[in-house]
Amino acid sequence: SALCSDMADVSLPAAKRARHVAAEGEMHVPRDIVARIQCGLKSEPQAVSSGSSRPFSLLSWNIDGIDDHGPQDTMLRALAVAEHIATTQPVAVCLQEVIPPQLELLLAPQTLGGCYDVVCAENPSLPYYCAMLLHKRRVRRVSSQTRHFETSKMGRHLLSVDVVVDGCSSSPVTLLTTHLESTKSEKRERVRQLAEVFRVMAESASRSRTLILAGDLNVRDDEVVAARQAAGAGADRVLDAWQCCGSPKDHEFTWDMATNTNLGAPHRARCRFDRCLFAGGAWAPTSFELVGRTRAGGRFPSDHYGLQIAFAAASLAEGPCTPGGAE
C-alpha cells in the first residue's frame, strides 16, 4: 500500500545465539514482511482518557525458540509472531521458550521496538526463558519479579509484572507468565509448581487488583485438580478464562498434533497445555481464541498455538466468571 511504499530493505545483525541455532553473519529480513508489520503498527490504539476502563487484549505464546530448523526458519517464525502482534496490538504479550535472537528481532526498530518494551525473567538458568512485551502507550509498568521454582530440573520460573492499563490506577493488574515443567513423567513437579502459582494468585487478588496468568502450563485436567487441592484455601477463586468464555471447542487444543505439523509427530495428540487463569474482581474475560494456525514460510509460527484473550471491566462483562461467579 501507499502507507508502506517507502520501506527500505532491512538487514538486522544476528544476536549471540543459543548453541542449537548458532549462525554467523547477518539475517536479511524480507522487506514485504517488515512492511506489513509497519502497516499494522500504523493503526495506533484509539486515544482514551486517563483512568478509563477500556477493554484490552492479552496474547500468550510459546514461540518455540529451541526448534532446531536453522536461523532462517527461526527468523520467519518470529516475524510471523511480530506480524500478528502488530495487527492486533495486545496490551501485553506473554512469551515462553523465547531465545535472545527472537527477542532482538521482535524488538528491532524496524519491527515492534517502537511500540513495545520488554521485561525478561531475571537470571534464567537456560538459554530459553519467559519474557513479556508491554505496549508503550497503553501500559505503565510499576514493578516486576521473577520467582524461580526451587525444585525444577528445567530452570522453570514465574515472571510477574505489576502494571496499570490505560491509566486506570484504581484497577491495577498483575500479569504473570510461566512455562511449567515439561513431559508427562514430571507430573509431580508440575503439580507442585502450579499449586505455588495458585497460592500466589489467591493471596494477591482483591476486588480492585486482578491477576492474570497466561502461559504454557503443560498441564492435564487432573493435574489442575490436584494442584488446586494442594494449594488449599483460595485456589477455587482462580478461574480459567477458556471455561469462562464458554469452553469454545474450536479454540481448545493449543498443542495439536492433528493439525500442527511442526514436530512431525507420528501421533495425533491434542492437549490444552496453554491456559489463561485469572483472579480478582476488576477485570473479566470476554472472548478467547487460538492464533497462529496458518503457516509462515512453510511451517507454523510454533508447535503451540497462541492464546488471545479479551478482558473488560467486570461490571461490563457477562458470563459465569464475573465477580462472585464460579467455574
User: Which one, of 276, 274, 299, lies nearest residue 286 by Cα?
Assistant: 276
Residues in Cβ contact with 228 at an 8 Å cutoff, skipping those fewer than 6 apart: 195, 198, 235, 236, 238
Using CA atoms, how far apart are residues 304 and 209, in angstroms rounded to an integer?
30
Whether 216 sits among the annotated catalytic residues: the reply is yes
Using CA atoms, how far apart are residues 121 and 215, in angstroms rounded to an integer?
14
Q: Do 142 and 163 meet the contact criterion of CB atoms below 8 Å apart?
A: yes
Q: Which of 216, 256, 274, 303 is catalytic?
A: 216
Using CA atoms, how far apart are residues 212 and 285, in angstroms rounded to an integer?
10
User: In the beta sheet, which residues pair with residue 56?
Assistant: 311
139-148 and 239-240 as β-strands: parallel, antiparallel, unpaired? unpaired
Q: Do 138 and 166 meet the contact criterion of CB atoms below 8 Å apart?
A: yes
> How far apart, in Å, are the Cα atoms of 323 and each of 145, 200, 240, 262, 314?
27, 19, 13, 40, 7
Q: Do 117 and 132 meet the contact criterion of CB atoms below 8 Å apart?
A: no
User: 104 phi and psi, to 5 degrees?
Assistant: -60, -40
Using CA atoms, how far apart are residues 263 and 253, in angstroms rounded to an integer?
16
Using CA atoms, how far apart are residues 222 and 323, in angstroms rounded to an integer?
25
Give the catalytic positions in this structure.
216
